[in-house]
A and B are shown apart, each in its own frame.
Chain A
Amino acid sequence: MCGIVGLFLKNKALEPELGTMLSDMLATMCDRGPDSAGFAVYGSGDSAHVKLTLRATAPGYDFAGLATRLSEEVGAPVTVEVRDSHGVFIVPEASEQAARRFIEDLDDDVTIVGSGTRMEIYKEVGRPDAVAKRFHLEKMSGSHGIAHTRMATESAVTTNGAHPFSTGRDQCLVHNGSLSNHNALRRQLKRHGLSFETDNDTEVAAGYLTWRISQGDSLGDALKHSLDDLDGFYTFVVGTEDGFGVLRDPIACKPAVMAETDDYVAFGSEYRALASLPGIEKAKVWEPTPATVYFWERH
């Protein structure tokens, strides 16, 4: 099954409420995906810095200590905001590659789950409402965010198998459905030099989009190509720095409903996820057409 929610605010005055609205939406989708959850929030940021979201496996990992070591390594100030098992490191843009190399060479059990100017990604195993509380999603502000509740079908229930999957800078993917050709596609993508952490089908879809974009596709074109190359059921929501995109497979077995008002555009696997939004009674509510790429972006 799985549940997806997404919220894109048109009205800047609502930005401090983003986390509250998104966590309410996420909580309604618990019974569509009770085993794990994750979300991406697009908050503050500036072009001189990059945010690296790191996840530590060991409880109580010393993120502050890592920030100090990282700062010494790159010779520039590095700050970190710790939220439970995740730490968001703010690194000067020019030092990103050095910081990445340093983190990847560490013996510590930490992984970079996402990076970007504004994107932060959090995911964990557990009931989605509990996961949202662990990270204090309700206190986060931002312009938009997407979230996912997972009912695992294609691979194990692990934090690495939880969504969103990063597909590039400020970009991530959540998926409701299951892909049938992910093993073959994973092998092909490995030949193109991509590496994979899990047996998860969505990680392959994320890798596929990353690869298409590296070949010069726009995100919209990469999504269009996935209609030809991905076999299976899917409703995808892709978070981008400016908003989010939606694509449903041509058969469209997996549900999707959208709502739009003057204040926001919202996505939910079911209408229940949208029922708590302000002004929903008067919102334009519709189902995205199958095999059609949609984007809602800030201008």
Chain B
Amino acid sequence: MPTIDLEVTSLREFNQMLHDLGEGTNDTHFRVVNPRGRHAIAAGVDADVTIEIDGNAGYYCAGMNKRANIIINGSAGVGVAENMMSGRVHVKGDASASAGATGCGGLLLIDGNASTRCGISARGIDIVVKGSVGHMSAFMAQAGSLVVLGDAGDALGDSLYEARLFVRGKVNSLGSDCIEKPLRQEHKEKLGKLLDDAGLAGEVDPSEFRRYGSARQLYHFHMDNLGAY
């Protein structure tokens, strides 16, 4: 298992090393030490590898991730796993603003809290936050899921499209066009699957959550609003 010390190997060199990994590479597990809040660690990986980062990461860690399993043994800065395509990113600490922003797929698991705008403009990513999320989370989220075991800040799901939001704790306020919807059996099953994927099988009961979604009043054209155009 290669260990990369970012005080010795430059970040650019390390990221290039990851980008150059061919199919069937023998190096399938990387350990990164001394991240020291550097930006864009392990961004743009497209390989079936595991990357463990020992310490706190800076902005855009694991951005654009495809297939890789990236574990941050610490906290992550702004935009962790932003625009993720597939794979799995696990933040053992807290995540800063815009975690999983614009993500298209894969699973982002955050053990601590996520700051403001978690899952902003998500397009298919599944995000599970064991703590709480800040204000404007899931803003304009189009597809995918946001599961919050703690509380959500103000304006959750503002201008939401079709992403599914599940919150176990208190929601400070809902954003425009975001409403609570009934949590039916099919949603409990979907949520249960997400919790299983997050390694929470049997620990958390899906029926403790409330489901939020789009009222679909904002993004369809309404004849009544004709005068506004």
> In this complex, which of B37, B38, B59, B135 has the most chain A Cβ atoms within 10 angstroms of its Cβ?
B37
Count of chain A residues with a beta carbon within 8 Å of a chain B beta carbon: 17
Would you give 5 A-B contacts (Cβ < 8 Å), ordered by A?
A270-B77, A272-B36, A275-B36, A275-B56, A290-B134
CB contacts (< 8 Å) of B122 on chain A: these are none
- Verify A281–B59 contact, CB threshold 8 A: no
A251 CA to B37 CA, complexed, in Å: 23
A274 proximity list for chain B (CB < 8 A): 37
Interface assignment of A285: CB less than 8 Å from any CB of chain B: yes
Residue positions of A touching B, CB distance < 8 A: 250-252, 255, 257, 270-276, 281, 285-287, 290
Decide yes or no whether B115 CB sits under 8 A from chain A.
Answer: yes
Grouping DSSP codes into helix (H, G, I), strand (E, B) and loop, the B interface class, with mixed when no group exceeds half, is loop
CA distance A290 to B55 in the complex (A): 25
Quick check: is B97 within 8 A (CB to CB) of the other chain? yes
| Cross-chain contact A287 with B115 (CB below 8 angstroms) | yes
- Taking the closest CB of chain B, its distance from the CB of A191, in whole angstroms, is 35
Given contacts A257-B96, A290-B135, contact A285 B77 (CB under 8 A): no
> Once the chains bind, are B94 and A270 in contact (CB under 8 Å)?
no
Closest chain B residue, CB of each to CB of A254: B97
B37 touching A287 by the CB < 8 A rule?
no
A170 CB to closest chain B CB, in angstroms?
31
Cβ contact within 8 Å between B38 and A272: yes
Nearest Cβ on chain A to B196's Cβ, whole angstroms:
30
Q: Which residue of B lies closest to A272 (CB)?
A: B37
Contacts of A271 in B (CB 8 A): 36-37, 56, 58, 75, 77
CA A272 – CA B56 in complex, angstroms?
9
CA distance A251 to B134 in the complex (A): 10
User: Which of B56, B77, B93, B96 has most chain A Cβ within 10 Å?
Assistant: B56
CB–CB B97/A285 < 8 A: no
Q: Is the CB of A270 within 8 A of B59?
A: yes
Q: What are the 4 closest A-B residue pairs judged by CB atoms, nearest first?
A: A271-B37, A275-B36, A272-B37, A275-B37
A272-B37, A274-B37 known; A252 vs B97 contact (CB < 8 Å): yes
Distance in angstroms between the alpha carbons of A275 and B37 in the assembled complex: 7
Decide if B58 touches A270 in the complex (CB within 8 Å): yes
